[in-house]
């Protein structure tokens, strides 16, 4: 058997065997996949107000947040390439750029325009952003130069 065949065999054993093992050996049984039902769920609901109360609180927080604060949350998907402070890394540094520059570039990427070697990566990243998301990210990135 060649090294390639052995590698392929081991990959398939791992790729199929590990998930099967995990499904058979988890600590939860029955229909509940989160492990909190009955009295446990009722206690959680009393402590937090439940799913609807949590969603309402999150919506209220977003409503009073500044664009830069909203942009900070949206920027979490950018950190891996551009750094937590816009210092760059895999992607170029963003620190020092104006909000209008960042917004314009995001719009170009969203429209499928090529801006550089990593444009294809940015096309997929910007595709999910709304216009408000792009404006908020731009506000947040512009704050990097004032830190």
Listed in sequence order, the residues at least 6 apart from 11 whose beta carbon sits closer than 8 Å to its beta carbon are: none
What is the rounded distance in angstroms from the CA atom of residue 45 to the CA atom of residue 37? Answer: 11
Q: Assess whether 104 and 122 both reside in one domain.
A: yes
More confident residue, 64 or 135: 135
Residue 141 is part of a domain; what is its CATH number? 1.10.760.10
Q: The whole model's pTM is what?
A: 0.63
Q: Assess whether 45 and 76 both reside in one domain.
A: no
Give 79-132 pLDDT, tens digit per residue.
999 999 999 999 999 999 999 999 999 999 999 999 988 899 999 999 999 999
Whether 51 maps to a domain, the answer reads yes
Give 17-60 pLDDT, tens digit per residue.
666 666 666 555 555 556 688 898 899 889 988 889 989 988 89
Q: Name the band, by pLDDT with cuts 50, 70 and 90, for residue 146.
A: low
Q: Structurally, how many domains does the chain consist of? A: 2
Written as one string, the DSSP assignment of 20-36 is HHHHHS-S--SS-SSS-
Q: Give buried/exposed letters for 99-114 (b at 16+ CB in 10 A, else e).
A: beebbebbbbbbeeee
58 lies in which domain range?
Answer: 36-65
């Amino acid at each position: 058997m060649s090294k390639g065949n052995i590698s392929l065999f081991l990959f398939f054993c791992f790729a199929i065997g590990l998930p099967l093992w995990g499904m058979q050996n988890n600590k939860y049984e029955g229909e509940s996949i989160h492990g909190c039902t009955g009295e446990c769920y009722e206690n959680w609901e009393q402590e937090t107000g439940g799913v609807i109360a949590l969603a309402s609180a999150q919506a209220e927080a977003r409503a009073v947040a500044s664009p830069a604060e909203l942009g900070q949350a949206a920027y979490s998907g950018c950190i891996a390439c551009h750094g937590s402070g816009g210092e760059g890394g895999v992607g170029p540094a963003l620190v020092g750029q104006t909000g209008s520059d960042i917004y314009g570039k995001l719009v170009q990427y969203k429209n499928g325009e090529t801006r550089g070697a990593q444009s294809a990566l940015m096309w997929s990243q910007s595709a999910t952003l709304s216009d408000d998301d792009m404006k908020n990210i731009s506000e947040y990135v512009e704050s990097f130069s004032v830190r």
